Amino acid sequence: GSRGRNNYGARNANPPIVINNPDYNFGMQFGTGTGTTLIENPLVNPNFGPVILAENISFSNYKSMQLGVVRRLLNGWQSQVSYTWSKCEDNGSGSWGLDRGTNFQNPYRPQDDVGRCAFDLRHNVVVNGMYLLPFTGNQFVEGWQISGIFNYRSGLPNNVTDGIVRAFNNQGSSNRPNYVPNAPGCNGNPVLPESDRFPVGSNPRWINTACFQLPRLGELGNVPRNFVDGPNYMNVDAAIMKNLSLGTTSIQLRAEIFNLLNRTNFGVPGGGLFAGSGAVSPTAGTITSIVGTARQLQFGMKVTF
C-alpha cells in the first residue's frame, strides 16, 4: 500500500455564498430559479468570477494484494501468472502540474469528493506462457514454439454528472445528480443489464439513466465521485515462431495475432446525463470509443549472423 498526504487539489475560492437550508442536500443552497433558469447566489467576492486555486488539501490511499506464480523453463514450457486485487481512494485524481485535476464539486466540503481514484482497477490478471514444440527429425518440424498473453482487468470508475450547470458554475467541474436506487426502472443498479446496453442503430448505452434525477436548482446532487464502474477489458495475444539454423546464421519467422478473440473492449461511457431542457440527453451514458483494436495479424522475420 501507499499513502499520499497534502496533495494539491483544485478548489473554487470564490463560490456563491450558500443559504443554510436543511431541506437541500448537505443543508446548502447555492441558488434559486424557476424552470431551467438558475439564479446563483452572490459570489463571496462579487468583483471577481470563479477563482480556482491549487491547495494542498487532497489525499490518496492505495491498498493491494499482489500475487504471482512463475514456472521457469522446464521440459520446453514456461509461464507466469500475476494477479492484483486493489483499491485506490482519493478526493481528486488529477495532477495540478499536468492537467489541474477536477475542481471539488463543493468548495466548502472537499470531503464530499472522496471516492475511487480515476485509475482504480479492482482486479487485474495477466497470464503469459511459451511452449517449445517437442518435434524433432528435420529442419521443417524442429524449432517451432508458440506463446500467448491473456489480460483481464475490471472496469475503470466513471464520474456521473448533471451535464449542465444546476447548482453553480464551478469552472470545469460539473455538478453531480441525485442517485435514486428505488426509482422505476433502476432496480438498484446504475449499470444497465447487458440485454439493454446495445440498442440497434446507436452507440451502446452503459449507464442506467433511470437511476438518476436532476437536483433542484441551486442544489448539489448526492452521487459520489467516480460512482459507476465502466466496462471491463479482456484481451488475448498469441504468436507462433519457427527458428532455423543455417551454420553461423539463424533465422526466426514469426506470425503474431493481436486480439485473437476479436473482442470489442469498450471505453468509458459519457457521464453527462441531462440536456439544457432538463430532460435526459440522447447521448447520456453512451459509449463512443473502444480500447485497443480489432484482430490484427503481423508477420516478421529476424536474421542473426
pLDDT tens readout for residues 147-174: 999 999 999 999 999 999 999 988 766 7
C-alpha distances in Å from residue 198, one per residue of 94, 130, 164, 194, 285: 32, 37, 26, 8, 12
What per-residue confidence (pLDDT) applies to 36? 87
Q: What is the pLDDT of residue 100?
A: 58
Place of cell 475503470: 156
Query: What pLDDT does residue 171 have?
Result: 75
Tell me which residue of 171, 49, 39, 22 sits closest to 30, measured CA to CA.
Answer: 39
The percentage of the chain sitting over the pLDDT mark of 70, rounded to a whole number, equals 96
Mean pLDDT (whole number) for 227-247: 94
Rounded to two decimals, what is the model's pTM? 0.87
Across the chain, mean pLDDT equals 91
**pLDDT of 290:** 92
Which pLDDT value is given to residue 300?
96
Rounded-to-integer distance, Cα 37 and Cα 160, Å: 22
Spatial neighbors of 230 by CB under 8 A, at least 6 apart, are 155, 156, 157, 158, 206, 266, 267, 268, 269
List pLDDT tens digits, range 14-62: 999 999 999 999 999 999 998 889 999 999 999 999 898 888 888 999 9
Taking a C-beta distance cutoff of 8 angstroms, is the pair 58, 8 a contact?
Answer: yes
